[in-house]
């Protein structure tokens, strides 16, 4: 009986606290003019909430003389977490009435509580407050809650079909402000079984000028032949529908619709193209062959050649490419894509002099194109491969100024610096601070401290490009680091995307108010994930950097390092970031997390090697992006991507796949294998090359060019995948040292 009595007494005390708080909440929030920011307080309640100590929050609040708005929100959320939804809503409604700034998201939380209580009618009323308010798509945070509210209105109809008329009424009322509500009305009728009405609203959505929800509408429509026929009757022809799907890269849908079209040249070409784009090269090949046999379009020969190339059948690809070039002789220029394919296919068919001549012909004709950049790079490595270093360097020196891309420019200058003349490295260093080439070139150049005067003179004259180049060189040589970096930051902070990154850092530090950051600081991680992920596709691309930052922080907070890194990297989608080294630390911490510290330190302390913990972290980053459940196409498993046979050998026992996915087990065995390689090879690049390409191969490569410098050894690794892997790990290792090594140690 005693445990039962104790539980009853505990519940009684909790109910008493709740009754007291009903009074405290009203008095503590009255007179609050607006939203307080979480940066204004180191609240005990915030700390308790982040530790899931909800009962203690209720008790702390009962003893407090006054709670600020955010503390009351957490009090409401504590009630919710404990299942006291009515109590939670009582607090939330007070907040809603007292704080105008909260009126776009408090109704969402209230409605969600009503849904938990299965009081869908009241939930619908509160969602209606959001969807019938005037919110601009430029108001990102508010717009996110709007999209989520739309989604919940549709979900309510699914939970309680009797509320269909009320749901329709709410959404129809919102149409005058939000044309994208047509999608949700279509969805309502679709789920309700009224395809005619659904098609009418989907038709309105697809003819709307705004892009929001168009892809969702197409994805919905394509699953239902009745909807497609209804759209046809309304005036949307299948030809246009297929094009809309193709334009939005919904290739599977476009292929499906293509089978509803008449079998003609345009239909076959569309079907083949979409199969190619979704990387079903075998299907695309068959369709292109049928297309060519029927219509004799020479462009199909090119596509057949590409399909064969992508499936690894290079001889067949080459035969069809020759046919295409023969047919096109005397006609229009075949284009850079064809020349690039020819360059790839003739890599082993031409001697190096012929190969270089072909490359120079393409450079002369198509200079300053990304494919030309690749032709130049591939030609150099082909020369190295056949032991014609001098020819390769001569070719690169002649043509490097035709390179368009910044990363390729940095590569070319670096290659010329280590093979030809170190003076090229001075020009290279300021190209990509934070790249492999930057870190590899910096120790090789000598920068005079007196250059600081020149940089400052350019800076004062407003000639920022000149000043920037010199400041980067000074920084790379460690000359007056703090002063120089402050000048660099001042120069780049007004340029996009750096301005946005620095604004994110300011929000993180509380210098710029942001409701989403406040929710993050409070620990409302589940709410943030739901709100952002549901609305993500409806938000402008420019705002997604901000959302990916929040998601990255949320995933780190909830222990999902892999998704944390994934969203940190998505911040860069669509942007060229050449100055990685000078991004705010808040961004760099997300890109290069300091994780698995205890396991790495303990394992290294028990080994006899002198490996750097940051080196292991860099290796994990580039092998798996910290995804402990990663499994490659070759069967490598876990954080350090260990092949089962290698892991079993190192562990001296047979390990299960689940054991290899365990972070501690994987790291311990991985470090043991790296230590073994360390005993066989002298440098980190050699260890990395052996880790990826096999120790026996590395022995052969070293024997071929025993006098090579470490930098040249890396460039002359015959396996492209291994060469790229080595560079990526070295870059990450240096970034870890830059971010953490100068501040603290693992």
Burial 81-97 (b: 16+ CB within 10 A, else e): beebbebbbbbbbbbbe
Nearest Cα to Cα of residue 214 among 223, 222, 205: 205
The answer to whether 334 and 361 have CB atoms below 8 angstroms apart is no
Give the list of residues 6+ apart from residue 187 with CB closer than 8 angstroms, or none. 154, 198, 220
CA-CA distance, 657 to 119, in Å (whole number)?
46
User: How many Å from the N-terminal Cα to the C-terminal Cα in the chain?
Assistant: 52
Long-range contacts of 721-725 (CB under 8 A, 24+ apart): 721/692, 721/693, 722/689, 722/692, 722/693, 725/622, 725/688, 725/692
The answer to whether 637 and 631 have CB atoms below 8 angstroms apart is yes
735 burial via Cβ count (<10 Å: 0-12, 13-18, 19+): buried
The answer to whether 666 and 660 have CB atoms below 8 angstroms apart is yes
CA-CA distance, 181 to 562, in Å (whole number)?
35
Give the list of residues 6+ apart from residue 99 with CB closer than 8 angstroms, or none. 29, 32, 34, 35, 69, 106
Question: Where are any strands of DSSP class E within 490-535?
Answer: none
Note if 623 is an active site residue.
yes
Give the list of residues 6+ apart from residue 481 with CB closer than 8 angstroms, or none. 475
Structural tokens at position 31: 């007179």
CA-CA distance, 310 to 236, in Å (whole number)?
35
3-state class (DSSP) for residue 131: helix
CA-CA distance, 381 to 19, in Å (whole number)?
76
Structural tokens at position 696: 């026996």
3-state class (DSSP) for residue 419: helix
Taking CA 261 as the corner, what is the angle to CA 259 and CA 265, rounded to the nearest 5 degrees?
95
- The CA–CA distances, whole Å, from 407 to 411, 421, 724 equal 6, 20, 13
The torsion angles phi and psi of 454, rounded to 5 degrees, stand at -65, -45
The answer to whether 738 and 581 have CB atoms below 8 angstroms apart is yes
| Helical ranges in 175-297 per DSSP H | 181-192, 195-206, 214-221, 225-234, 238-247, 251-258, 265-277, 281-295
Catalytic residue among 388, 431, 623, 686, which? 623
| Helical ranges in 401-480 per DSSP H | 406-419, 423-429, 436-441, 451-460, 464-476
Give the helix, strand, coil percentages of the chain, each rounded to 5: 75, 0, 25
42 burial via Cβ count (<10 Å: 0-12, 13-18, 19+): exposed
CA-CA distance, 185 to 189, in Å (whole number)?
6
The answer to whether 259 and 241 have CB atoms below 8 angstroms apart is no
Active site residues: 623
């Amino acid at each position: 009986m005693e445990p039962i009595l104790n539980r009853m007494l505990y519940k009684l005390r909790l109910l008493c606290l709740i009754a007291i708080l009903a009074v405290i909440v009203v008095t503590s929030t009255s007179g609050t003019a607006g939203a307080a920011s979480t940066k204004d307080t180191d609240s005990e309640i915030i700390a308790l909430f982040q530790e899931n100590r909800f009962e203690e929050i209720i008790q702390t609040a009962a003893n407090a003389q006054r709670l600020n708005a955010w503390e009351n929100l957490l009090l409401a959320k504590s009630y919710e977490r404990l299942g006291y939804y009515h109590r939670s809503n009582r607090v939330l409604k007070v907040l809603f009435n007292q704080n105008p700034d909260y009126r776009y998201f408090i109704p969402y939380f209230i409605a969600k509580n009503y849904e938990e209580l299965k009081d869908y009618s009241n939930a619908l009323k509160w969602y209606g407050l959001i969807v019938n308010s005037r919110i601009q798509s430029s108001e990102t945070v508010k717009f996110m809650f709007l999209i989520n509210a739309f989604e919940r209105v549709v979900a309510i109809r699914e939970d309680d079909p009797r509320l269909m008329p009320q749901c329709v009424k709410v959404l129809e009322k919102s149409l005058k402000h939000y044309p994208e509500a047509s999608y949700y009305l279509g969805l309502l009728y679709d789920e309700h079984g009224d395809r005619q009405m659904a098609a009418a609203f989907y038709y309105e959505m697809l003819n709307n000028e705004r892009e929001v929800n168009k892809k969702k509408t197409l994805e919905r429509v394509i699953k239902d032949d009745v909807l497609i026929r209804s759209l046809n009757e309304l005036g949307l022809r299948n030809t246009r529908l297929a094009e809309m799907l193709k334009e939005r890269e919904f290739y599977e849908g476009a292929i499906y619709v293509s089978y509803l079209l008449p079998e003609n040249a345009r239909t076959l070409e569309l079907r083949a193209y979409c199969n190619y784009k979704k990387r079903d090269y075998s299907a695309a090949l068959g369709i292109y062959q049928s297309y060519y046999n029927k219509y004799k379009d020479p462009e199909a020969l090119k596509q057949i050649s590409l399909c064969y190339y992508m499936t690894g059948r290079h001889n067949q690809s080459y035969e069809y490419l020759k046919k295409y070039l023969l047919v096109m002789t005397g006609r229009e220029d075949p284009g850079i894509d064809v020349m690039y394919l020819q360059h790839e296919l003739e890599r082993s068919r031409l001697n190096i002099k012929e190969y270089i001549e072909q490359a120079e012909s393409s450079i002369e004709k198509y200079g300053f194109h990304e494919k030309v950049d690749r032709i130049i790079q591939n030609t150099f490595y082909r020369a190295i491969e056949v032991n014609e270093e001098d020819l390769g360097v001569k070719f690169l020196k002649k043509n490097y100024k035709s390179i368009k891309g910044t990363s390729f420019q940095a590569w070319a200058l670096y290659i010329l610096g280590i093979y030809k003349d170190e003076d090229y490295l001075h020009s290279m260093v300021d190209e990509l601070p934070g790249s492999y080439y930057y870190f590899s070139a910096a120790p090789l150049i000598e920068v005079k401290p007196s250059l600081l005067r020149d940089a400052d003179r350019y800076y004062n004259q407003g000639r920022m490009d000149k000043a920037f180049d010199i400041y980067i060189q000074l920084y790379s040589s460690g000359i007056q680091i703090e002063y120089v970096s402050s000048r660099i930051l001042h120069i780049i902070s007004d340029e996009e995307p750096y301005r946005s990154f620095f604004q994110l850092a300011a929000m993180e530090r509380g210098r710029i108010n942001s409701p989403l950051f406040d929710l993050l600081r409070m620990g409302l991680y589940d709410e943030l994930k739901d709100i952002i992920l549901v609305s993500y596709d409806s938000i402008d691309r420019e705002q997604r950097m901000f959302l990916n930052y929040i998601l990255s922080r949320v995933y780190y907070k909830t222990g999902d390092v892999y998704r944390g890194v994934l969203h940190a990297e998505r911040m860069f989608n669509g942007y060229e970031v050449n100055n990685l080294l000078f991004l705010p630390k808040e961004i760099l911490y997300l890109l290069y997390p300091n994780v698995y510290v205890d396991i790495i330190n303990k394992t290294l302390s028990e080994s006899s090697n002198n490996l750097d913990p940051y080196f292991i972290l860099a290796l994990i980053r580039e092998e798996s992006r910290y995804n402990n459940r990663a499994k490659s196409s070759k069967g490598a498993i876990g954080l350090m991507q260990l092949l089962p046979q290698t892991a079993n050998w190192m562990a001296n026992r047979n390990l299960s796949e689940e054991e290899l996915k365990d972070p501690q087990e994987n790291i311990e065995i991985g470090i043991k294998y790296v230590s073994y390689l360390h005993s066989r090879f002298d440098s980190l690049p050699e260890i990395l090359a052996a880790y990826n390409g096999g120790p026996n191969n590395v022995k052969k490569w070293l024997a071929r060019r025993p006098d090579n410098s470490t930098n040249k050894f890396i460039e002359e690794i015959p396996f492209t995948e291994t060469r790229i892997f080595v560079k990526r790990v070295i870059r990450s290792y240096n970034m870890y040292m830059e971010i953490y090594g100068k501040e603290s140690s693992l």
